[in-house]
Amino acid sequence: MKSNQVNFDTDPKSYKHWQLEFDDSIATLKMKVSPTDGLRDDYELKLNSYDLGVDIELYDAVQRIRFEHPEVKSVIITSADEKVFCAGANIQMLAGSTHHHKVNFCKFTNETRNSIEDATEFTGTTWIAAVNGTAAGGGYELALACDEIILVDDKSSTVSFPEVPLLAVLPGTGGLTRVVDKRHVRRDLADVFAVRAEGIKGAQAVKWGLVDEVVPKSRFDEHVKEHALKRAAASTRPSNASGIALTPLQRQESEDGLSYPHLDVRYDRDLSSAFFTIKGPTSRAVKDLSELKQQGSSFWLLALCRELDDAALRLRFNEPEICSWVFESTGDPDAVLATDDLLRDNASDWLVQEIRHYLKRTFNRLELSSRTLVTLVKPGSCFVGTLAELVLLADRSLMLEGTFSDEDLLPAPYIVLSEINDEWYQMVNRISRLQSRYWGRPDELQEVRRAFGKQLSAADADELGVVTFIFDEIDWEEEVRILLEEQASFSPDALTGLEANCRFVGPETMESKIFARLTAWQNWIFQRPNAVGPQGALQSYGTGSRPSYNRERI
């Protein structure tokens, strides 16, 4: 791996910035950022400020709590520093980062905080922010991802969003959206709060709705623990279940791609494309829930999900010039459907719930990536059930009609959809990809639902609108090549805007607003000279000189 590439591998024993402790039904995650252990050496992570490396560890901690510790029902996130909870994203890190790194950094931190909210809402693990010092910018945004915020009443600790007045950017991790949509802070008060660099403390923070309560320092820790126990008592998480270890991923890397046990990623730099080949099961490897739990993180679908998640993150940060992600698959469709049946039959089990929601978040991560998504359904494919989500999330899906003459042993491909595609894997706007695909076309949606469980040939899939185009053997290779060459010839910026506007139809949610509005605006603001120019706020911060702004409102 190149020295400048981002690596997402970590584990609690390797953490440099977090302390993870367990006490029966409660986990405590303490932020203790090491100033000299940033991903680069041109900044120091002072005052519990963070860079991508800090958040990589946080994301790992969230995953381990969810999968390795089912007994945990409440998580307290706090600081090991009694005066500073978290100062937010490190300013020198942002000032010295490439544009693509800044945007992807914000996107990843957003997704990590979404996974915290997902745990609270769907799998019964309540996250509580014990803000035992000042929380500024991204530090307050981290607290906002929790279900409750308890602020220490020590006459000095505040919550604040200093980005607009001091840095000429926006709170990049969903803070503005969460303040008004999640905490229901009045819009005029939110406006005041977002330009008051010194922040709000004590009773006023409670009155405005910025925190849930303030507690004197003398009994702060005791109160937080008691409150966490009360929330844990209401959780549906099991008390005596055994977790599964998230073992290190088996991955080989080269200039030409990535290779995992269940996923190969091949780079075609001439086409500016990465070909993801998903290896489905060749037979029904798991017959019941007990065997699934015995396999743990080697269970095929969970292992594949982890590999897809890892590959998507690596390509986002390390391969920005790869324009298109092309999904292909091999394997036994019946074995994939049998896996779906096993999960559906045990839908209430804690581990099945975690696997389901991890798949949901991984599919969402693919859609939230600024890449053209293409799915190729060919002979030997297993795009059925859960894996059919990769057909539905694609910007373009092509399916071969018939077979390839030189592959006599491989039958013509087919797609199978089921209730799982209509219920389990919601997009960020809280509707399924089927509902999104047929938004405003209820009759067509009902036709597709009547076809659940059927093997849809290319002609069937074309008739129902499940795929974009079908081609025969004569045209296949040429049409795929033309599509990928065309995508590579367009402006990446225009394609990102085009695809983001088309992918998320229908209702808006807090999460969809964060990615559709905030990410787009921050993408633009991060290129404006008022923020990143020679006299911009990010460059001037900490130098003693004031930024110089272009005063036009554009």
**Per-domain boundaries in the chain:** 12-233, 254-503
Closest CA to 143 of 156, 168, 161: 161
* Mean pLDDT value across residues 430-451: 97
- Could you tell me the two tokens for 462? 């074309």
CA proximity to 236, closest of 59, 23, 74: 74
pLDDT tens digits, residue range 7-41?
Answer: 999 999 999 999 999 999 999 999 999 999 999 99
Q: Tell me if 45 sits within 8 A of 59, measured CB to CB.
A: no
Q: Give every CB contact of residue 325 below 8 A, 6+ residues apart in sequence.
A: 273, 274, 276, 312, 315, 366, 369, 371, 372, 373, 374
Neighbours of 288 (CB within 10 A): 11
CB of 538 closer than 8 Å to CB of 167: yes
For 283, left (φ over 0), alpha (ψ -120 to 50), or beta? Answer: beta
pLDDT of 62:
98
- Domain 12-233 sits in CATH at 3.90.226.10
What CA–CA distance (Å, rounded) separates 34 from 312? 27
Answer whether residue 488 shows pLDDT above 60. yes
Q: What is the mean pLDDT of residues 441-460?
A: 97
Residue type, 7: N
Mean local confidence (pLDDT), 313-317 = 96
Is 148 tagged catalytic? no
User: Residue ranges of the alpha helices (H) in 209-332?
Assistant: 220-233, 289-295, 300-318
Q: Is pLDDT above 90 for 520?
A: no
Centre a 10 Å sphere on the Cβ of residue 295 and count the other Cβ atoms it contains.
15
Q: Which two structure tokens, joined as six digits, stand for 411?
A: 């039958």
pLDDT digits (tens, 9 = 90+) for 327-355: 999 999 999 999 999 999 999 999 999 99
CA distance 381 to 458: 12
377-413 burial, b for 16+ CB within 10 Å, e for fewer? bbbbbbbbbbbbbbbbbbbbbbbbbbbbeeeeeeebb
Lowest mean pLDDT among 80-89, 121-130, 401-410: 401-410
Position 414: which residue type?
Answer: Y
Which one is catalytic: 117, 141, 148, 511?
Answer: 141
- Candidate from 154-163, 192-201, 526-535 with smallest mean pLDDT: 526-535
Q: Is the pLDDT at 551 greater than 90, yes or no? A: no
Q: What is the DSSP letter of 202?
A: H
State the average pLDDT over residues 469-480. Answer: 96
* DSSP code, position 329: E
Instruction: Tell me the pLDDT of the chain averaged across its residues.
Output: 94
Q: What is the distance between the alpha carbons of residues 38 and 51, in angstroms, rounded to a whole number?
A: 7
Q: Are both 12-233 and 254-503 of the same fold?
A: yes
Active-site annotation holder among 57, 163, 319, 354 = 163
Least Cα distance to 174 among 254, 116, 119 occurs for: 116
- Determine which of 31-35, 165-169, 356-360 has the lowest per-residue pLDDT on average: 165-169
Distance set, CA 442 to CA 262, 435, 436 (Å): 36, 9, 11
What per-residue confidence (pLDDT) applies to 2? 46
pLDDT number for residue 517: 82
The gap from C-alpha 256 to its chain's centroid, in whole angstroms, comes to 25
pLDDT of 3 above 70 = no
Q: Where are the beta strands (DSSP E) in 32-114?
A: 49-50, 74-79, 84-86, 88-89
How far is Cα 152 from Cα 13, in angstroms, rounded to an integer? Answer: 30
CA-based torsion, 137, 142, 148, 154: positive or negative: negative
Q: What is the arithmetic mean of pLDDT over 269-295?
A: 91
Confidence of residue 1 (pLDDT cuts 50, 70, 90): very low
Does the global pTM surpass 0.85?
Answer: yes
**Edge-to-edge, what's the strand order for the sheet holding 252-254?**
252-254, 257-259, 263-268, 273-279, 324-330, 372-377, 396-400, 469-471
Q: Which of 6-10, 250-254, 534-538 has the least mean pLDDT?
A: 534-538
pLDDT at 283 over 80: no
Distance CA 417, CA 422 (A): 9
- Structure tokens, 466: 């499940």
Q: One-letter amino acid identity for 251?
A: R
With 0-12 / 13-18 / 19 or more C-beta atoms within 10 angstroms meaning exposed / middle / buried, residue 56 is buried
Q: What is the pLDDT of residue 123?
A: 93
Task: Tokens 């894997």: give the residue.
Answer: 425
The span from the CA of 346 to the CA of 349, in Å, is 6
Lowest model confidence (mean pLDDT) among 34-38, 123-127, 293-297, 540-544: 540-544
Does the annotation count 163 as an active-site position? yes
Residue 225 clears pLDDT 70, i.e. is over it: yes
Angle at alpha carbon of residue 525, lines to 363 and 533, rounded to 5°:
135
pLDDT for residue 528: 85
Contacts of 219 (CB under 8 A, 6+ apart): none
> If one looks up domain 254-503 in CATH, what number appears?
3.90.226.10
Q: Are the C-beta atoms of 425 and 389 separated by less than 8 Å?
A: yes
Neighbours of 361 (CB within 10 A): 19
Place of tokens 């945004």: 141
For residue 295, is pLDDT > 50?
Answer: yes
Checking if the pLDDT of 408 tops 80, the result is no
Contacts (Cβ under 8 Å, ≥6 apart) of 394:
327, 373, 374, 375, 468
